[in-house]
Amino acid sequence: MRNNKTLFIIALIAVVNMLGYGIIIPILYAYSKKFGLSDFQNGLLFASYSICQFISTPVIGRLSDKYGRRPLLLISIAGTAVSFFLMAFAPNAIFLFIARMLDGLTAGNIPVAFAVISDSTKPEDRAKAFGVIGAAFNFGFVFGPAISAFTVIFGAGIPFLIAGIVTLIAVILTALYLPETNKHMGEVRHGKLFDFPRMWHTLFDPNVGVTFVISLIFFLAFSCAIIYGYQPFTLNILHIATSQNAILFTMFGIVGLISQTFLVQRASKMFGMKKAFSLSILFTAVSFVIMFLSRSLITFVAASLLLALVNSVAQTLIPTILSQETDEKSQGTIMGLNTSYQSIGMIIGPILGGIVATVAIPLPFLVGAILILLCFALSFRVLRPGVKAESAF
């Protein structure tokens, strides 16, 4: 960070951006209930964001390859800010859907930020750089829920208003301080902004295909077990209060922050990036199995802390590996595609979790563990030697 001002600026943007998300996550469900939405409609509300994100992120990533990172980052963060203000002042449920869909459509800030890091760091330094950005996201997520808990007492829409303000700060930081890092603007091949057949074929690309498949399945498993399965399990099986759940998520964020700051780079150097990736995936599956079997809070918390530790390594190494499997001209495209595959997983995962939980509440953890073990088997096929995938993009 001392020697890379761009990394420092992106880290600040990541903190502010995730702070906004951290503020709204704990209250979005309860807030939408005030507008009379049923649980099914709430599911549609959450899915609307992921569906729009799935569609938009490859487009934004490819446009950033063609026209530059800075303008696309400005547009995407500004869209997020507007969506928060729409949520704060929404007169009815329709505006909630409009806000979440707008946020999804402009949700290209993460892959474009990753592309900026790929542009401005050497390949051997990227694991550490992506770890710094991941830590910045975790830092915002740790403090966001605390801000939400303190401000919601002044009005249900106040946290959304604060989230909009802090996201505007990210827009200002980007406009004033972020330089353009894309040195290959206009060199990307001409083609459709969103090409479903090509997206399907990238899953079979000899260089990046396996990593994309892992990313999709990993986030499907994570959203099945954690986004859906976590709270029903803690509330109905462990019988803990909602406030205790918030504490668990805060602990999760703190451990993830520590992991991405200190563990990712050390693990990559100690074991090698490929082995560190495989081990982090394996222990993610182990943590899910422990959660499935646990019936005491202590055991469950221990498994949650293990998950926070190793999940941060796995999620950080996915974009790091992708950045080394493709050419320098297509970093925005590749990161945008990766976010789309993750979005597919986060659309399907909660639905799958809801289906299996009707059989038994702990089952989402077991299903998640099985899917993660599939990722573990595939992880030995990443970073294969060969020509980078320039022709695919």
The CATH number assigned to the domain holding 326 equals 1.20.1250.20
Final residue in a domain of this structure, among 148, 179, 210: 179
CA–CA separation, 143 vs 121, rounded Å?
28
Tell me whether residue 186 is in a domain.
Answer: no
Tell me whether residue 390 is in a domain.
Answer: no
Q: Are 306 and 286 in contact (CB under 8 A)?
A: yes
pLDDT at residue 261 in the model: 73
148 and 225 together in one domain: no
245 and 138 together in one domain: no
Tell me whether residue 392 is in a domain.
Answer: no
26 and 164 together in one domain: yes
Q: Are 82 and 98 in contact (CB under 8 A)?
A: no
Per the structure, the count of domains in the chain is: 2
- Could you list the pLDDT tens digit for every one of the 393 residues in the chain? 455 677 777 777 777 777 777 777 767 766 777 888 776 677 677 778 878 877 787 777 778 877 888 888 888 889 888 999 999 999 999 999 999 899 888 876 777 777 787 777 777 777 677 777 777 777 777 777 777 777 877 887 888 898 889 888 888 888 888 888 777 666 655 555 556 676 677 788 777 889 999 999 999 999 888 877 877 788 789 887 656 676 777 777 788 778 877 787 788 888 888 899 999 999 999 999 999 999 999 999 999 999 988 988 888 888 888 888 777 666 667 777 887 788 788 888 877 887 888 788 899 999 999 999 999 999 998 886 654 444 444
248 and 296 together in one domain: yes
Residue listed under structure tokens 């892992």 = 214
Chain centroid offset of residue 202 CA: 20
Domain range holding 150?
Answer: 1-179
Q: How far apart are the first and last CA of the chain?
A: 31
Tell me whether residue 184 is in a domain.
Answer: no
Helices (H), the chain: 5-24, 28-33, 39-67, 69-88, 93-105, 109-120, 126-151, 158-177, 196-202, 209-222, 230-236, 242-258, 264-271, 273-293, 297-325, 331-357, 363-378
Q: Are 195 and 52 in contact (CB under 8 A)?
A: no
Tell me whether residue 189 is in a domain.
Answer: no
CA–CA separation, 35 vs 199, rounded Å?
37
pLDDT at residue 246 in the model: 66
Q: Are 99 and 300 in contact (CB under 8 A)?
A: no
The torsion defined by the Cα of 211, 215, 220 and 226, in degrees rounded to 10, comes to 130
Write the CB contacts of 373 (distance below 8 Å, at least 6 apart in sequence): 282, 285
CA–CA separation, 163 vs 105, rounded Å?
18
With 0-12 / 13-18 / 19 or more C-beta atoms within 10 angstroms meaning exposed / middle / buried, residue 242 is: exposed
Q: Are 220 and 228 in contact (CB under 8 A)?
A: no
337 and 375 together in one domain: yes
256 and 353 together in one domain: yes
The Cα-based distances of 170 to 40, 116, 143 in angstroms read: 33, 15, 16
CA–CA separation, 284 vs 280, rounded Å?
6
Tell me whether residue 185 is in a domain.
Answer: no
Write the CB contacts of 107 (distance below 8 Å, at least 6 apart in sequence): 49, 52, 53, 56, 57, 76, 79, 80, 339
One-letter amino acid at 19 equals L
CA–CA separation, 26 vs 31, rounded Å?
9
Residue 37 backbone dihedrals phi, psi, to 5 degrees: -75, 135
Six-digit token string for 179 = 């330089």
Sign of the dihedral through C-alpha 193, 197, 200, 201: negative
70 and 147 together in one domain: yes
Q: Are 370 and 225 in contact (CB under 8 A)?
A: no
Q: Quote the pTM value.
A: 0.70
pLDDT at residue 385 in the model: 60
Chain centroid offset of residue 132 CA: 14
Tell me whether residue 190 is in a domain.
Answer: no
144 and 227 together in one domain: no
219 and 313 together in one domain: yes
